[in-house]
C-alpha cells in the first residue's frame, strides 16, 4: 500500500507528500495513539483518515474518524476534554500515528483519565517472574 492514494471516498487536503507515505488499512484508516506529552502516559487510541490527520496537523486539536458514526469528531468538542496537539509522528512502518497531546480532563469516553487503566491483563511481569523463580 506504500504510495497509494487515499482509498476513502472522503476528500482530503492532506499534503500529498505525507499521504504518499502512509500505509492505511483497507478502509483508509490509520490507528492514532494519543499520549500525554510530558508524562508519556498512553491515553487512548483513535482512528484517522487522511483528512482527520490533515485537520490534526493544521488545527492543533485532535480530529478522529468515528468508524461507528462515520463522521469526524474533534476530541473535546462535546465533552470539553480537549487534546491540544504538541507533536505528531509517524512510526517506522508508516502505518500508525503517535500524537503527543496536552490532555484537558479525561481522555476516555467513560470519564477515566486514560482508556487503558480499567482492565489490566498483566502488570509487572518481570517482577513476577523473579518472584516465581525464587519459590
| Annotated binding-site residue numbers for Mg(2+) | 91, 93, 95
- Which amino acids are annotated as binding site, given as ranges? 91-93, 95, 108, 115
Tell me the binding residues for Zn(2+).
92, 108, 115
Rounded CA-CA distance 6/26 in Å is 10
The Cα angle at residue 119 between residues 38 and 46, in degrees rounded to 5: 55
- Please state, as a whole number, how many other Cβ atoms lie within 10 Å of the Cβ of residue 7: 14
3-state secondary structure of 124: coil
Amino acid at each position: 500500500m506504500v504510495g497509494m492514494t487515499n482509498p476513502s471516498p472522503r476528500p482530503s487536503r492532506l499534503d500529498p507528500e505525507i499521504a504518499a507515505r502512509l500505509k492505511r488499512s483497507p478502509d483508509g484508516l490509520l490507528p492514532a495513539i494519543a499520549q500525554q506529552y510530558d508524562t508519556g502516559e498512553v491515553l487512548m487510541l483513535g482512528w484517522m483518515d487522511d483528512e482527520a490527520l490533515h485537520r490534526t496537523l493544521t488545527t492543533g486539536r485532535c480530529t478522529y474518524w468515528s468508524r461507528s458514526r462515520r463522521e469526524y469528531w474533534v476530541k473535546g468538542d462535546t465533552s470539553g476534554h480537549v487534546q491540544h496537539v504538541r507533536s505528531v509522528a509517524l512510526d517506522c512502518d508508516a502505518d500508525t500515528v503517535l500524537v503527543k497531546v496536552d490532555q484537558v480532563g479525561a481522555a476516555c469516553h467513560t470519564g477515566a483519565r486514560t482508556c487503558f487503566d480499567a482492565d489490566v491483563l498483566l502488570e509487572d511481569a518481570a517482577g513476577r517472574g523473579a518472584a516465581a523463580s525464587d519459590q
